[in-house]
Structure 1
Amino acid sequence: MDRLVSCEFNMDTACVELNFFDDSIIAIDTIAVEKEVVDNMYQRSELNYLIYNDPVGYADLILNGDPETYLKTVTEYKSLDS
């Protein structure tokens, strides 16, 4: 995997696809990621924002970052019961 040529969300497969100069491809299954790391609708909304508006940032977060910590940091969840 040399240089990134393109990164986009494929609605047909629900994957963020990274295409590299050497013709290699990485496809990140966004549904599987959500099942593993999302605890509430606010976290799901944050991931969806990244998927549609910053797929490179999403891919970087999933491949190189800590999505659980990121989501706990950027989302604020307050229960209505409190």
Structure 2
Amino acid sequence: MALGLASRLGVFESCSIALLGIEDWQFRRPLLIGDTVRCRVEILDTRLTSKGDAGILRRRLTLLNQREEDIQAGEIGLMVGLRPSG
């Protein structure tokens, strides 16, 4: 659910190269029928790959319900292409 909502932002779609893994994913509360959910995306850090032609984003995704309660959360690494210089 969280990845689907985050992808609708359209921010990572044109530059994504590879999903690197999901870490420390926690299911904190149940997601109930009729709940309205949203996803908060936080960039925790960035770094260049060893070749320097791509970057690694460490992101924290948090799925929230209509009461702003955390339902699920975890870190998802993503490799992205760099913008052309100039």
TM-score by length of 2: 0.29
Q: Which has the higher helix share?
A: 1
TM-score by length of 1: 0.30
Q: Which has the higher strand share?
A: 2
- Larger RCO: 1 or 2 (CA < 8 Å, sep 6+): 2
